[in-house]
Amino acid sequence: MGSVLAVAATVPQLNPTRLGVSIIASVVVLVLLVTVAKLHPFVSLILAGLVVGLGSGYGPVNTIASFSMSFGSTMASVGILIGLGSMLGRLLMDTGAADSIVDALVDRSSRAMIPWTMAVIGALIGSIIGSFVEQSHISILLLGWLIAIFVRVATGSATVSIMTTAGILGPVMDGMGASQPAVVLLVLAIGAGSIFLSHVNDAGFWLVKEYFGLDVGQTFKTWSVLECLLSVVIFLLVMAVSLFVPIV
């Protein structure tokens, strides 16, 4: 279907300003779908891609054709690997093996060593994620930001978020032969993700609440929103700079 649409589609001349606005809008949509609507990241990425295609004036036919061809070529090379990986992951979850592995590592670590333990766990799966990044062509900066957000929201710790994400993506950057400026941008993207959505599992959330005499709702509406805005704005600036910086 993708090849048929590709033949029938005509590629229009895109307006750079409109394209830039649509990219920013897609990032906002992606963040809202994942964090607010709680939609699965895979579906959210598809919808965000449609926002870019339709918003930039690329046209529905060209957008679908481009997506179909790109997704089809990617799945042809990594589909079996993803399928087997999903089966193994499900098997580990159903049998409790995944919990046992993580619990064993965490139980044998002191509280001060937990961030390092998370980094080690991240390093163990870094090569797998590296293969995924190379095959899917997803932005390493976007991936770093999203992983940092996930760990931050789940644990409430910016330190754990940074250490875990760096442990996961460090081997990926080495494998890509990333340039020094690209490494700096990834550090900034991870840092931006690590401050996203400070909420009740974050000690800083309660510090701000008590220091300013706010209730929980007011702290969410002020501090949590501020942290989200800072994270998104910093990430957008990083992505803007990345347009002029070679990744490898």
pTM over cut 0.75: no
Q: How far apart are CA 55 and CA 62, in angstroms?
A: 12
pLDDT at 223: 92
Q: Is 159 helix (H, G, I), strand (E, B) or coil?
A: helix
Phi-psi group of 197: left, alpha or beta (phi > 0 → left; psi -120 to 50 → alpha; rest → beta): left
H helices present in the chain, as ranges: 2-8, 16-35, 41-55, 60-95, 97-107, 114-136, 140-155, 158-176, 180-193, 203-212, 216-219, 225-242
Q: How far apart are CA 126 and CA 201, in angstroms?
A: 26
Long-range Cβ pairs for the range 98-106 (8 Å, 24+): none
Phi-psi group of 138: left, alpha or beta (phi > 0 → left; psi -120 to 50 → alpha; rest → beta): beta
pLDDT at 20: 80
**End-to-end alpha carbon distance in the chain:** 34
**Number of Cβ within a 10 Å radius of residue 242:** 20
Q: How far apart are CA 95 and CA 180, in angstroms?
A: 42
> Per-residue confidence of the chain (248 residues) as pLDDT tens digits?
444 444 444 667 777 788 788 888 888 887 788 777 777 666 777 888 888 888 888 888 888 877 777 665 555 544 545 555 555 555 665 666 656 666 666 666 666 666 666 666 665 555 566 666 666 667 889 888 998 998 888 778 888 888 878 877 877 777 777 788 888 999 999 999 999 988 877 888 888 888 888 888 888 889 999 999 999 999 999 999 988 887 76
Q: Is 223 helix (H, G, I), strand (E, B) or coil?
A: helix
- Residue 91: burial class (beta carbons within 10 Å; 0-12, 13-18, 19+): exposed
